Structures are given as C-alpha cells and as structure tokens.
C-alpha cells in the first residue's frame, strides 16, 4: 500500500542500524504509526534531517506490514521551532500521544488540534490553557472524555457551590457532607463549570484543571510515570534558585 504526501508530524525517532531511523509518526489520515527511514542519518540528500518533531511534514511511505518504509520527506508550511520551556511542553505532548494513541486509528480532529497547538506554542507566553484544552480533547478522542456538566450516576447537573469527587469509571460524584467522606481531593463545582466553559482566567480554575487532568490521564497511562513531566519540573529548579538568590 502506497501513501503519498500525507500530512504528519514526527513524534519520536530512534537510531536503527547503521544509518537508519525508526520514526514514530502522527499522521492525519492514518493516525499513529511507525516507519523506518532508511539511510536517513548522515546523508542530507535523503531529506532525513527534516525528520524532526514539531515540524509539519508531508510524508510518503509504502509497505504491507506493521512497519512502513518512508520514501519521501517534504517540509510543509512554516517551521514553528519550539524553544526553551515550550520544547519540554512539546516533548510532553509527544510522550502523551505515543503512550495513549492506539496505532493505525485516524484522529483527524485531534491531529488538527495538535497542529494548531504546536503553531500556538511557538508564539504563546501562556501555554497552560492551550495544554489543558488539548489534554481534554485527547481524552475525548480515545474514548475517556470528561463530562463536566452532569453527574454520570444521578444525571443531576453539576452546580456551583457544591463539591465533587472524580472517579475514573463513574465521573463526578457530589460530595455528601452527611457521610464520612473526606472533603480533601474534591473539585469545586464552579471550577468544573469554568473548565467546561473553557474559561481559564482564574488561578484556582487552572489548578483544578491541572489536578483533574493529571488524575484522568494517569488512569489511562497506568503505573509508568511520564518522564517528560518529571523533566519539566527538574528543568525549572535553577529559575527558582535564581529568584531566591
């Protein structure tokens, strides 16, 4: 099967044999897949040097099996280079996609969101809401979307002023003051409604969204922690140190 000039992003590359690369792709019409780029390292003629993450590409590949052969690499549109902190965010996004997206399943709208997000990240100074929106749509795409308007079990609407527990299988459950549950770890109704309305102005909403999405994503990721998240925190240390000094 031949595929020509398919819109795609490189998620990850690793060295393969002497001069080749294994390339994990996120393509618009074929979803996540793995290809091998023969002779991609070293020779500039083959276009292999363009196989970098966060660069919009047009790729062609062929092959019947799981592992396709990359046959052509072309840059498409502007190269939105990510620098500094945005680079870590990009690595985080790619790690999420590699870990959560099933292979060979098309996710066109998620691809478009990813593409927009990469372009926005290279210009944005406030990436947090962008990231949260993408995480929400990623969960939705893989079938674990969060409903922040109603309680799944009772079908009651989520209300401001109330507090809610989040469980991975039953969604939000209203905190009941009568029972002996602990209120800690609950999410405020007004914060959930703000997230649902895509309003990340307040710091409390941002915190709530971060905590909620981390917990929801972790349930899908399983035990193994996300290394890019760890890296992001380790990378931040000197900035704080410099501020303290």
Partner 1 sequence: MFGPVIDELIDALRCLPGVGPKSAQRMALHLLDKDPRAAGRLSTSIQQAVERVGRCQLCRMLTEASVCEICANKGRQPDLLCVLETPADLFAIEQSGSYRGRYFVLFGHLSPIDGIGPEAIGIDQLLQRLSDENIKELILATNLTVEGEATAHYIGSHAQALGVGVSRIAHGVPLGGELEYVDGGTLSHAFTSRTLI
Handedness of CA 147, 152, 158, 162 (dihedral sign): negative
Q: Which of 62, 67, 69, 79 binds partner 1 (CB under 8 A)?
A: 79
Place of tokens 């409390």: 204
5 binds partner 1 (CB under 8 A): no
The CB-of-65 to partner 1 minimum distance in angstroms stands at: 20
- Dist CA 217 CA 99 (whole Å): 10
64 binds partner 1 (CB under 8 A): no
Binding range to partner 1, per CB under 8 A, among 10-18, 103-111, 113-121, 170-178: 10-18
Judge whether 199 and 205 are in contact, CB under 8 Å. yes
Q: Which of 6, 22, 34, 52 binds partner 1 (CB under 8 A)?
A: 52
72 binds partner 1 (CB under 8 A): no
The CB-of-5 to partner 1 minimum distance in angstroms stands at: 17
Q: Calculate the alpha carbon distances from 143 to 43, 96, 186, 217 in Å.
A: 42, 15, 23, 12
60 binds partner 1 (CB under 8 A): no
The CB-of-94 to partner 1 minimum distance in angstroms stands at: 7
**Three-state DSSP string of 161-183:** CCEEEEECCCEEEECCCCCCCCC
Residue closer to partner 1, measured from CB, 188 or 226: 226
Binding range to partner 1, per CB under 8 A, among 101-109, 168-176, 199-207, 227-235: 227-235
Q: Which of 43, 49, 62, 156 binds partner 1 (CB under 8 A)?
A: 49
Which helix (H) or strand (E) segment is 226 a member of? none
DSSP conformation letters of 23-47: EEEEETTTEEEEEEETT-SS-STTS
Residue 152: what are its φ and ψ, rounded to 5°? -60, -45
Q: Which of 64, 183, 233, 241 binds partner 1 (CB under 8 A)?
A: 241
Which helix (H) or strand (E) segment is 2 a member of? strand 2-16
Q: Which residues bind partner 1 (CB under 8 A)?
A: 11-14, 17-18, 49-50, 52-55, 75, 79, 81-84, 87-88, 90-92, 94-95, 98, 226-228, 230-231, 234-235, 237-239, 241-242
């Amino acid at each position: 099967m031949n595929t020509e000039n398919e819109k795609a992003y490189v998620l990850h590359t690793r060295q393969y044999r002497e001069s080749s690369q294994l390339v994990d792709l996120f393509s618009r019409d074929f979803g996540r897949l793995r290809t091998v780029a023969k002779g991609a390292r070293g020779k500039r003629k083959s276009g292999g040097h363009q196989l970098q993450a966060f660069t919009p590409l047009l790729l062609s590949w062929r092959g019947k099996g799981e592992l396709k052969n990359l046959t052509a690499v072309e840059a498409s549109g502007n190269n939105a280079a990510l620098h500094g902190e945005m680079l870590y965010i990009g690595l985080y996004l790619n790690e999420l996609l590699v870990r959560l997206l099933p292979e060979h399943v098309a996710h066109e709208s998620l691809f478009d969101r990813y593409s927009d997000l990469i372009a926005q990240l290279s210009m944005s100074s406030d990436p947090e809401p962008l990231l949260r929106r993408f995480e929400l749509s990623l969960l939705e795409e893989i079938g674990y979307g969060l409903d922040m308007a109603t309680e799944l079990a009772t079908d009651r609407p989520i209300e401001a002023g109330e507090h809610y527990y989040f469980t991975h299988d039953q969604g939000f459950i209203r905190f009941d003051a009568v029972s002996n549950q602990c209120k800690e770890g609950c999410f405020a109704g007004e914060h959930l409604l703000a997230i649902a309305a895509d309003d990340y102005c307040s710091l409390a909403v941002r915190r709530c969204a971060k905590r909620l999405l981390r917990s929801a994503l972790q349930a899908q990721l399983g035990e193994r922690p996300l290394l890019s998240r760890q890296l992001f925190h380790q990378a931040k240390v000197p900035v704080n140190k410099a501020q303290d000094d």
